[in-house]
Amino acid sequence: MRTGIAESVLRRATFAGENWIARFGHLLDKAPSRQFNILYDSLVNAVRDEIPVAVERICGKAVSVETCPERQKVVLSNGETISARLLVVANGLNVGLRHQVGIARIVVSACRPWPARRRAVGDAFSTSCPVAGTGCDKVFTDVERLCNVYIPQWLASDGTGAAKIAAFYADPVKRACDRWSAAKAFDFRSVSFGTSPYRTAQRWARFIAWSVQGMLRPAGRAFHLEPNFLGHSSSSSSSSSSSSRSSSSSSSASSLSSSE
């Protein structure tokens, strides 16, 4: 809710009240879910709709970028040049512009590249594993911290040097979200592909637990009870935990927690 776009996004999203759990070709359970599903283009358009009319929009492809502590310059494919104090790189996995400003890619896990830290947000900064379902949490945490905390501070004084930018990447809420996302991705990989006796036993235990939970669910509903041996079935969102810290899934679709 702190991003100010929840109402616009949720209007276009579809509530997914049930999550089907399948293993070894068998449907084990139909567990309750608290997620909303939305197509990527619908999500982007919902966010764009929240941009005030008074804000100037420029449509074009950025082909080159030059940065300095005072002004940033972007050249578009039509030859137009835009100069501004602050440039936010939010171009997903495209690497062309990042290479121009010296952002290198550090591979922390094969097939899961995470770029080094510079002036970037969301997937442009660090790519989350889609299986973990943490992508929306990561990008909205980045945007919320930038818009509500750092950009107002940066623009209140002259210059946008490295020290100012570094404060954003050292933000405890952002770093906690990044660590949570990475840990969840590595845990999912270990559970799915680990060959140790522990991981093998864990997979069979989860299979048995899901099976028993699925068999008990119809009886539980008759008594208004929901068996929940393995925790909530859908990917848990960090947005609520990020909120407490700050105060103290298809190829074309994204999942949003109801707490967004």
pLDDT at 136: 81
Return the biggest CA–CA distance within the chain.
68
Residue 209 to residue 33: CA distance in whole angstroms? 17
Reported confidence tier of residue 254, pLDDT bands at 50, 70, 90: very low
260 residue type, one letter: E
Residue 80 to residue 62: CA distance in whole angstroms? 10
Question: Lowest-pLDDT range, 4-8, 157-161, 171-175, 245-249?
Answer: 245-249
Q: Phi first, then psi: give them for residue 181, nearest 5 degrees.
A: -65, -45
Average of pLDDT values for 220-238?
A: 59
* Contact indicator for 165, 142 with CB cutoff of 8 Å: no
> Is residue 172 over pLDDT 90?
yes
Token pair for residue 43?
């999500």
pLDDT at 73: 92
* Nearest alpha-carbon partner for 146 in 135, 160, 132, 130: 160
Q: What angle do CA 87, 102, 156 make, to 5 degrees?
A: 30
Determine how many CB atoms are found less than 10 A away from the CB of residue 81.
10
Reported confidence tier of residue 233, pLDDT bands at 50, 70, 90: very low
226 or 191, greater pLDDT: 191
Determine how many CB atoms are found less than 10 A away from the CB of residue 84.
11
Residue 16 to residue 32: CA distance in whole angstroms? 8
Average of pLDDT values for 185-203?
A: 88
Residue 179 to residue 84: CA distance in whole angstroms? 32
Question: Lowest-pLDDT range, 58-72, 195-209, 243-257?
Answer: 243-257
> Is residue 55 over pLDDT 50?
yes
Mean pLDDT (the chain) is 78
pLDDT at 258: 38
237 or 225, greater pLDDT: 225
DSSP codes, the chain: -TTS-HHHHHHH-EEEEEEEEEETTEEEEEEEEEEEEEEHHHHHHHHHHTS-TTS------EEEEE--SS-EEEEETTS-EEEES---B--TT--HHHHHTTPPEEEEETTEEEEPSSSB-GGGT-PPPGGGT-HHHHHHHHHHHIIIIIHHHHHTSS---HHHHHHHHT-HHHHHHHHHHHHHHHHHHHHHH--SHHHHHHHHHHHHHHHHHHHHHHHHHHTT----TTS-SSPPPSHHHHHHHHH---TTEEEEETT-
Residue 257 to residue 123: CA distance in whole angstroms? 18
Q: What percent of the chain stands above pLDDT 70?
A: 77
187 or 108, greater pLDDT: 187
> Is residue 82 over pLDDT 50?
yes
Q: What percent of the chain stands above pLDDT 90?
A: 16
pLDDT at 170: 92
pLDDT digits (tens, 9 = 90+) for 91-128: 776 778 878 877 777 776 665 444 433 445 555 566 77
